[in-house]
A = this chain, B = another copy of it.
């Protein structure tokens, strides 16, 4: 199993990327890597080249590049070359810490959609607070600015496969993000999506879930349109970050006695920070394309890179994408058969 790595994406690339790759390589003996980027820079940090191939390129997509244009014009960028390696089946998955928009564009335009999928969605993993290792998946968390009910139905299926294969949850609970829990609640899109999800017997649909409940673990997979999913993800990150900031500030202003207290609590408080650290769940996955396309945070350290590569390893080992391809091929066949039947009636 071979992972194409954009070695130049991210704030501390290629150093952190290389260190994360070597750690994953040492742990998973069935993994191989192709690193795309500046050979000299990569080699500066690389301890040994076992199962690691370097493909040199000088071109890079930077954070403020306009995504689609960058993918079309910067043909020799590390990101485009890595995505192409997947398209041409020289690699099985694609990883980057770079420009999210460009990664989504590369996934859609170069790696390509699975047949039957109309709008691939971005899956994020968030911690469930108060549960050891509790987590939930949210998709679409921002690949699309607008979605139809049918897309949300596909996200439920994509999320279900992910939760089963990667997180090992046998029968994942699927929730629909909505502004109330009652079935009739919401916009036209969520109301129609509710009907599609209820009608699909292959899904363990638990109904509507609200944005304040998802952190409590009411569902394993939370389905949303990309606009709302993105807003909710950012709101949670913003609020959690602000709380940590406020806690620090509170302690700083708390005088000598308070500071002593904080010192005594120090190790516990750093546990709190770890709990909120999403990077141990891996990166955000563009689901619905022909191979795992995964984005880790731009500020990822080598541990976050390692966790994301471990997540990709799991997706490859469990053959998640081939299963999705076959599932949606079957759905397309069913639809075609239904059409023929209707014609013959």
A residues in contact (CB < 8 Å) with B: 129-130, 142, 145-146, 177, 179, 185-188, 190, 210-216, 226-228, 230-247, 249-251, 253-254, 257-258, 260-269, 271-272, 275-276
Contacts and interface: CB of A to CB of B under 8 A. Distances in A.
Contacts of A190: 145, 227
B129 A188 contact: no
B246 A235 contact: no
Contacts of A186: 145, 227
Given A146-B187, A231-B232, A129 B242 contact: yes
Query: Main SS of the interface on chain A?
Result: helix
Contacts of A130: 242, 245-246, 249
A219 to B, nearest CB: 13
A187 B145 contact: yes
Contacts of A264: 257-258, 260-261, 264
Contacts of A235: 211-212, 214, 231-232, 235-236, 239
Contact of A268 (B213, B226, B244, B251): B251
A128 to B, nearest CB: 9
A264 B264 CA distance: 9
A239 B215 contact: yes
A67 B231 CA distance: 28
19 contacts: A129-B245, A130-B245, A130-B246, A145-B185, A145-B187, A145-B190, A186-B227, A211-B232, A211-B233, A211-B238, A216-B242, A228-B228, A228-B231, A235-B239, A236-B239, A240-B243, A258-B268, A261-B262, A261-B266
Nearest to A145: B187
A258 B251 contact: no
A130 B253 CA distance: 12
A130 B252 CA distance: 12
Contacts of A142: 179
Contacts of A232: 211, 231-232, 235
Contact of A265 (B179, B231, B246, B251): B251
Contacts of A265: 251, 254, 258, 261-262, 265
Most chain B CB neighbours (cut-off 10 Å) among A190, A214, A215, A263: A215
Contacts of A241: 212
B230 A179 contact: yes
A130 B234 CA distance: 18
Nearest to A66: B182
Given A210-B234, A239-B243, A250-B272, 11 more contacts: A129-B245, A130-B242, A145-B187, A210-B231, A211-B232, A212-B235, A214-B235, A236-B236, A250-B269, A251-B268, A261-B261
Contacts of A261: 260-266, 268
A212, A237, A265, A269, most chain B CB atoms within 10 A: A265
Listed from nearest, the 8 A-B pairs whose CB atoms lie closest are: A261-B264, A212-B238, A239-B239, A261-B265, A235-B235, A211-B234, A254-B268, A129-B242
